């Protein structure tokens, strides 16, 4: 049972950066370029009525094994750095259920993501019939419990001031995909 597993080791808050300035972008770009591969995910403020449509994503996360970078998406669109990362054919982006992330990015911003790996599909090739999400994958591959509180999942991701719980949740979602991918023996850039 997943609840009995040890918790997934979260990044400390000082390793989770909400990218807000050119200096933040430069730091993020250095860490991302150094890694050559990132965990990727998005968060969207949920809609609770059938007649409402989502205007997300509101948060885009990129994570290495040592840092997570949180990009808040507003009406001004995506920063050039974030757009370059998402569309780069050289940077590997790893995540779970990425079709639900890629479609809104294309619809809202025209982003055409390249070099993307959906870890959930790797489980299909291992014989899993159902799609495996991040929480189950972390349990299966890492033997750890990924904390995914429903309260945080359904929180207001559009809010400009994210809570520590939201920051940990967003960082974990992106970084866990990368951790599972690497633990499955998938290749790192430049290493075959």
Q: Return the domain boundaries, the chain.
A: 2-183
Sheet of 92-95: strand order equals: 16-18, 68-72, 59-63, 37-43, 92-95, 116-118
Using 50, 70 and 90 to split pLDDT, how confident is the model at 190?
low
| Structure confidence at residue 85 (pLDDT) | 95
Using 50, 70 and 90 to split pLDDT, how confident is the model at 188?
low
Q: Which carries the bigger pLDDT value, residue 61 or residue 131?
A: 61
| Structure confidence at residue 192 (pLDDT) | 41
CATH architecture of the domain with range 2-183: 2-Layer Sandwich (3.30)
Low-confidence winner among 89-93, 98-102, 159-163, 184-188 (lowest mean pLDDT): 184-188
Give the CA distances from residue 21 to residues 16, 94, 119, in Å, rounded to whole numbers and listed in that order: 14, 25, 31
Average pLDDT over residues 64-75: 93
Does 143 have pLDDT greater than 50? yes
| Structure confidence at residue 191 (pLDDT) | 45
Average pLDDT over residues 24-38: 95
Q: What phi and psi values does residue 94 have, to the nearest 5 degrees? A: -120, 135
Average pLDDT over residues 36-65: 87
Question: 144: helix, coil or strand?
Answer: coil
Using 50, 70 and 90 to split pLDDT, how confident is the model at 69?
very high
Write out the DSSP string of 75-132: TTB--HHHHHHHH-SSSEEEESSTHHHHHHHHHHH-----SEEEHHHHHHHTT--SPP
Residue pair 40/49 in contact (Cβ under 8 Å)? The answer is: no
Does 102 have pLDDT greater than 80? yes
Q: What is the pLDDT of residues 121-139, one digit of tens each?
A: 888 877 888 888 899 999 9
| Structure confidence at residue 74 (pLDDT) | 80
Does 36 have pLDDT greater than 90? yes
């Amino acid at each position: 049972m997943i609840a009995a597993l040890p918790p997934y080791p979260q990044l400390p808050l000082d390793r989770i950066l909400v990218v807000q300035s050119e200096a933040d972008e430069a730091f993020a770009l250095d860490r991302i370029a150094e890694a050559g591969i990132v965990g990727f995910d998005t968060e969207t403020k949920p809609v609770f009525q059938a007649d409402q449509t989502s205007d997300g994503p509101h948060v885009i996360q990129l994570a290495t094994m040592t840092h997570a970078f949180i990009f808040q998406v507003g009406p001004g669109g995506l920063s050039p750095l974030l757009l370059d990362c998402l569309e780069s054919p050289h940077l590997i982006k790893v995540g779970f259920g990425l079709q639900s992330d890629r479609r809104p990015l294309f619809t809202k911003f025209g982003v055409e993501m390249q070099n993307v790996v959906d870890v959930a599909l790797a489980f299909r090739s291992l014989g899993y019939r159902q799609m495996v999400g991040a929480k189950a994958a972390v349990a299966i591959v890492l033997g750890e419990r990924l904390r995914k509180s429903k309260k945080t999942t359904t929180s207001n991701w559009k809010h400009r001031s994210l809570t520590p719980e939201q920051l940990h949740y967003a960082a974990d979602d992106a970084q866990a995909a990368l951790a599972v991918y690497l633990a499955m023996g998938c290749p790192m850039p430049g290493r075959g």
